Chains A and B, each alone.
Chain A
Amino acid sequence: MNRIRRFFRNNSIQTKFAVVMAMMLIIILVVNLFIYIQTNVMVERIDSVFSSNVTIGELTETLGRVEDTVYEYLNTKGSGALENYYRFSQDYRNLIEELNSQNVEDRVLMLEKSIREMSESYLATADETVQAKRGRNVEKYKNSYAQEAELFRYINNYIYELNSRQFERNSENYRFLLSSLGILEIMALTLIVVVFLLSGFIGMVLVRKMVHPLVELSETAREVAEGNFSVKVPQVDSEDEIGIVTKTFDQMLSSIRAYIVRIRSSLETEARMKERELSMEAHLKEAQLKFLQAQINPHFLFNSLNAGSQLATLEDADATALFLQRMADFFRYNVQKTGGESSLQQEIGLVDNYIYILNVRFAGDITYRKEVPDDVGDPDMPGMILQPLVENAVTHGIRDRMDRGIIRLQVEKEEDGLQIIVSDNGVGMTREQIRRIYEGTADRSGEDGSTGIGLGNVINRLSLYYNREDLLTIHSEGEGTEVILFLPKMEKG
C-alpha cells in the first residue's frame, strides 16, 4: 500500500498513466488469453469427439482389405494379392495395437479388447489359411478360411457395435461439452464484464486522483484572479507535474504577496516623501512670500546703502562707509539666502554683521561673544537660521537691558554633528512662550525691528532639511535663554 502511495507521489503523470494502463492491459490480456485457452481446449475437445468413430472406420476398412486380399489370394494365388495381404495385415496389426488390451470397467473398452483379441485370432487364422494355400493343402485352407470368415463376421459385428456405442457416447460427450462450453461462455462473459468494470473504475479513480488537485488549483486560481491573494493553495504531496504546478503556483502567490507588501511600503514612503516635499515647498513659499513682501524695502535699502557707502567714502567718512557697507552686506545676504542653502561660516558672518549693525544702532551696548573652534569647518546648512536665533535673543532677551546684554554664540563639534548654542542673559522665557515656539504659534515675524523670520519657521525648516524633529531646544530658567541647535553630519552626495 505504501509502495503504491509512494509510486503515485513520486512519479510523473506520464509514468503513472503508462504504468496503470500497462497494468490494465496486462490484466485484460491475461484474462482474455486465459479465456481463449480454456475455450480453445474445450473446442478442440469437441472437435476430437467423433475422431474415435473415424478410427473405427479405418479399422473396418483395413479389416475388409485384409479379408479381400486373403480371398483374392485364395482365388488367384497372385503375388500381388499376397503382398497386399501382408501389407494390410500389418496395417491392421498396427491399428489393433491402439485398442484397449486390459480388462477395465467400461463396456466400450471391453468391446475394444474383444475386437483386439478376436482380431489377433483372426490374423493367426488368416496366416494359417495363406500358409495352407501356399502349401497347397486344400482341405486345411478351406477349413481355415471358413473359420477366418466367421471371425471376420464376428469382428465386423463387434466393430459395428463398438462404432454404435462409441457414436452414442460421443454424442453424449458432444452434448456434455456443448453444455460445458455454454456455461464456460457465460463465465467468460461475466469475467470480461468484471474486468471491463474494474478497468473503468481504475481509470476513473486515476483520472479523478490526478484531476482533483488540478480542479482545486483552478478554483484557487480563479479566486486569485478575482483579487483574493490571501487564498490558501491546496496541499499537494505528489511530485508529478500537477504537484509541481501547484507548488510553483503557491510560491508565485507568496512572491506576489511579498511584492504587494513591498509596493505598498514603497508607495507609503513615496507618499510620505511627497508630503514632506509639499510641506517644504509650502514653508519655502511662505518664507519667499514674506521676503517678497519685504523685498522692495531691502532692495531699495540695499541700493540706497550702497549709494550712501560710496558717498561716505567720497566724503572720507570711513566709519559711515563701513557701517553702510555692513548694512548692504546684511541685506544682500538676506535677499540671497532666505529659503536657500548656506554654510556655517556664512551664517556666522551674517550674525557678525547683524551684531555690528545693532551695536551701531545701540551705541555698542551689546556684548557679543563668539566661540568658534577652527576645526568645525564650514558644513552646509539651511540659510537664515542663526541670525533669527540671535535676533530672538536680542529682541526677547536683552532688549530692555542693552547696556548689560551679552549674546554668546558657541559652536561645538560633536561626534555626529555640530552643536551651536546661542545664549543670552536677558529676561528669559516662560514655559508658555517656549511651548508656543515649539508649536509654531509664537511666530512674531513682521514685528518692528525684526527680519521677519520667527523661531517656528526656523524649527520647521531645520526638520525638513535634516528630516529630524529634535534639532532645536530652548532652555530658560528664570534669567537668560539658551537655544541649542544641533546640526547633524550630512553625508555628501
Chain B
Amino acid sequence: MKKGMTIMTGGVVLITVLLAALYLYSASRLARLTQQNTGTHIYDRRYAFVSMDQSELWQAIYDSAKEQAELENVYLEWIGQDLVMNYTLEDCMKIAVASKADGILLNPDKSGEAEEMIASAAEAGIPVITLLDDKGENSRISYIGVNSYQMGELYGKQVLQCLKEEDNHIVVLTDQMTDNNNTNLLYSQMLQTIENGNNRNHTYDITLYQINTATSFDAEEDIRDLFIQADPVPDIMICLDLVSTECAAQALIDYNEVGKVTVIGSYASDTVYEALEKGILYSTISVDTGEIGQLCVTSMNEYHNLGNVSNYFNMRLEVINQKNVAKKRETEEPEEQPGLQAGRLIFGQAG
C-alpha cells in the first residue's frame, strides 16, 4: 500500500511537472515570439543617415555613428541602404523629410541637388549636418570634415618626399563632379607647398586628370587608359578617392609598373593596407572615421538640446605609409566589428 501510494504520488508529481513544463515552454516560446515582433527599446529620436556612397569608408562612419547613437538613445537609419529599390540622394532626402526624421546626417554627393535638398529639409524644420563635403552652408547646421588647405599641404609634403632627380610627371586624379572650390584650394596649397619645399630644384610638372565617378566602372577604365595611353607614364599619381586608389594599385600590378610609379591612394581598405604593406602604394592620408561618426550624432543631439551647435568641426588628418601601416592595422583591428571593414579617407601623393 505504501509503495503504491509513493508511485501514485510520484506519478501525480510527474504529471504536474510535465504540465508546468509544457505551459512554461509554450509561454516562453510565445513570449519570445512576441518579443521578436515588438521592439522593446524606445528611442528618444530618429536620425536619418543619407549617403549614396556605400563604400567601406561610409560604412565605417555609419557604424561608428550608429554605436554612438545607441549610447545616446537615438535610432539611426541609413535611408535607402537596405531597401530593394535604388534611390538617388534627392529621393533619400525627400524620404527623410517626409518621414519626419529628427535630423539628417548627410554625405552630399557631387550633384547640385544636395543644396536644394538641405534647404527643403531646413524649411521642414529638420536640421542637417553635412559630412566630409560641405554643401548648403546657409541651410545646414554644421559641417564635419577636413580642411582643404591642410590636405593640400599634406599632399605637397608627400610629393616632396617622392621627387626624383630627373623630370617628375605628377598626375592628380580628380573627379569630374568634385566641388571645384575645394579642389582648387587643395591644388593651390599643394603647389605652394611643393614650390616652397623644393630646395634641390627638382623639375616637375603637375597635370590634373579627370576621371568619371558618376557612373559605375568608368573610374577603373579611365585609370587603365592613363597607363595605356599616357606618354610618358606618370611618375607620381595622386588619387582622391578609394575606388581610384584601389584601381591604381591593381593597374600597377597588371601593367608591371610597381616601383616605377609612386601612387598615393585615397581610401584605407584591406586592399589599400595590403598594397601599402607590399610597397605598391607609397602612402595615404586618413581621418578617424570613428570620430566622425561619434561627432555627427553628438553634434545633432547638442543642437536639439541647446538649440545651436558649432558650424564647423575640423577633423585631424593622418599619414599612413609602409612604416606605420602594420601598427595602424593592429590598433584598428580590435575595434573592428565582425563583418565590417574599417575604411579611411586617404589623400595620396605620388613620388
Report which A residues bind B (CB closer than 8 A).
1, 4, 27, 31, 34-35, 38, 41-42, 45, 102-110, 113-114, 117-118, 120-122, 150-151, 154, 157-158, 160-161, 164, 169, 173, 176-177, 180, 183-184, 187-188, 190-191, 194-195, 197-198, 201-202, 205, 209
Contacts and interface: CB of A to CB of B under 8 A. Distances in A.
A31 B19 contact: yes
A122 B98 contact: yes
Interface residues of B, number: 43
A34 B33 contact: no
Nearest to A173: B33
Contacts, number: 132
A205 B4 contact: yes
B181 interface: no
B122 interface: no
B23 A198 contact: no
Contacts of A108: 37
A158 B98 CA distance: 12
Interface string B81-100: 01111000001001101111
A117 B99 contact: yes
Contact of B1 (A103, A164, A209): A209
Given A114-B95, A154-B94, A209-B1, A161 B29 contact: no
B256 to A, nearest CB: 47
Given A161-B83, A201-B7, A201-B8, A190 B33 contact: no
B327 interface: no
B85 A157 contact: yes
A103 B76 CA distance: 10
B39 A104 contact: yes
Given A31-B19, A38-B26, A187-B25, A198 B11 contact: yes
A106 B21 contact: no
A176 B8 CA distance: 36
B228 interface: no
A47 B206 CA distance: 71
Given A117-B99, A184-B26, A201-B7, 17 more contacts: A38-B22, A41-B26, A41-B30, A107-B82, A109-B39, A120-B100, A121-B100, A151-B98, A160-B84, A176-B29, A184-B22, A187-B18, A195-B15, A198-B12, A198-B15, A201-B4, A202-B11
20 contacts: A34-B22, A41-B30, A42-B30, A103-B42, A104-B38, A104-B75, A105-B75, A110-B77, A117-B100, A151-B98, A154-B91, A161-B83, A161-B85, A173-B36, A180-B26, A180-B29, A184-B26, A187-B22, A197-B11, A201-B7
B324 to A, nearest CB: 39
A102 B22 contact: no
Contacts of A113: 46, 99
Interface in B38-68: 38-46
B14 interface: yes
B306 interface: no
Given A104-B41, A106-B38, A151-B98, A177 B11 contact: no
A159 to B, nearest CB: 11
Contacts of A198: 8, 11-12, 14-15
Contacts of A197: 11
Give 10 nearest A-B pairs by CB, closest first. Answer: A104-B39, A106-B39, A198-B11, A103-B43, A105-B41, A114-B99, A121-B98, A117-B99, A180-B29, A105-B39
A402 to B, nearest CB: 98
A164 B85 CA distance: 12
Contact of B23 (A38, A121, A157, A180): A38
A104 B22 contact: no
A262 B2 CA distance: 45
A27 B22 contact: no
A104 B4 CA distance: 57
B18 A190 contact: yes
B71 interface: no
A80 B41 CA distance: 45
A357 B129 CA distance: 179
B5 interface: yes
Contacts of A195: 15
A331 B33 CA distance: 136
B116 to A, nearest CB: 14
A442 B98 CA distance: 157
Contact of B33 (A161, A176, A184): A176
Contacts of A34: 19, 22-23
B172 to A, nearest CB: 39
A169 to B, nearest CB: 7
Contacts of B97: 121
Contacts of A173: 33, 36-37
A53 B293 CA distance: 36
Contacts of B12: 27, 198
B31 to A, nearest CB: 11
A434 B178 CA distance: 173
Contacts of B29: 42, 176-177, 180
B4 to A, nearest CB: 4
Contacts of B45: 103
A205 B8 contact: yes
Given A104-B39, A150-B94, A176-B33, A194 B18 contact: yes
**Among B26, B38, B97, residue most surrounded by chain A Cβ atoms (within 10 Å):** B26
Contacts of A188: 22
Contact of A183 (B25, B43, B82, B99): B25
B98 A177 contact: no
Contacts of B38: 104, 106, 109
Contacts of B18: 187, 190-191, 194
A49 to B, nearest CB: 9
A350 to B, nearest CB: 86
Nearest to A204: B4
Contacts of B5: 1, 4
Contact of B22 (A35, A105, A150): A35
A105 B40 contact: yes
Contacts of B19: 31, 34, 191
